[in-house]
Amino acid sequence: MRRFSYALIAAAAAVVAFPVDSSAQTRPGQESGQGEARRQDDGWNVPRLRLNQRANAGPCPFVKILYDAARYVEMPFEQPGTNNVGYTGEIQGVTANCSYRDNDPITVNMNILFELGRGPQATNDNRTYRYWIAVTDRNTAVLNKEYFDLPVNFRGQQRATVEEEIRGVVIPRAEITTSGSNFEILIGFEVTPEMAEFNRTGSRFRINAGTASAQQ
């Protein structure tokens, strides 16, 4: 279990609190929208997972996996190919919940599921991946971002699945009426510009890169 050390400035303009949604669920979804908001949401182009909701003062933030950083593929991009792949990774999904009442800050806990792989160019069983979690003022500024190391031992296998437990993402609220819907939590691997472009174009390799073909 990891604890998210957080010290955000009180952010977001006061808004009318939303009615409490008593359902508790975490599932992929897509928000529809128009204009600039629609274009920004389409830019992420990833399933959204609504945070579990309790008896809160309003709705929880959304959590999303950033499309450009959802996958990690080590290879020489001037010579792409299955046989040139080292280590790979993919963020498979997130489940989370939040709580806030009265003038409390928003506290979010989450579990992140990673699937990691070793390709033909992987040199050993051990690999430390790096990923980040960022809290944003929705569709605008990043309020804070923190990096985490994810050590993996493949134990002679090509694939490994790891679930990370993150506790205590705390988002201060400027006003008692500030709703969690003003914020988003984004998750992604630390990737190079070449990796991000590879992801952005939709190209990818399966996790068991040593035996599977590239998927375009």
Cα distance between residue 93 and residue 66, in whole Å? 11
Average pLDDT, the chain: 76
Cα distance between residue 1 and residue 41, in whole Å? 30
Tens of pLDDT, residues 56-66? 678 899 999 99
Q: Residue 203 — left, alpha, or beta (φ > 0 → left; ψ -120 to 50 → alpha)?
A: beta
To the nearest whole percent, how much of the chain has pLDDT over 70?
67
CB within 8 A of 19, min separation 6: which ones?
58
Cα distance between residue 167 and residue 3, in whole Å? 5
pLDDT (tens, 9 = 90+) of the chain, 216 residues, equals 665 544 443 333 322 222 222 223 333 333 333 444 444 444 444 444 454 444 667 889 999 999 999 999 999 877 777 888 999 999 999 999 899 988 899 999 999 999 999 999 999 999 999 999 999 987 678 999 999 999 999 999 999 999 999 998 999 988 888 889 999 999 999 999 999 999 998 876 554 444 444 444
Distance of CA 28 to the CA centre of its chain: 13
The domains of the chain are located at 2-204
What pLDDT, on a 0 to 100 scale, did the predictor assign at position 164?
96
8 A C-beta contact, residue 162 and residue 150: yes
Tens of pLDDT, residues 33-64? 344 444 444 444 444 445 444 466 788 999 99
8 A C-beta contact, residue 72 and residue 119: no
Q: What share of the chain is helix, strand, coil (3-state, %, to 5)?
A: 10, 40, 45
Task: Give the count of alpha carbons within 13 A of 195, CB side only.
Answer: 20
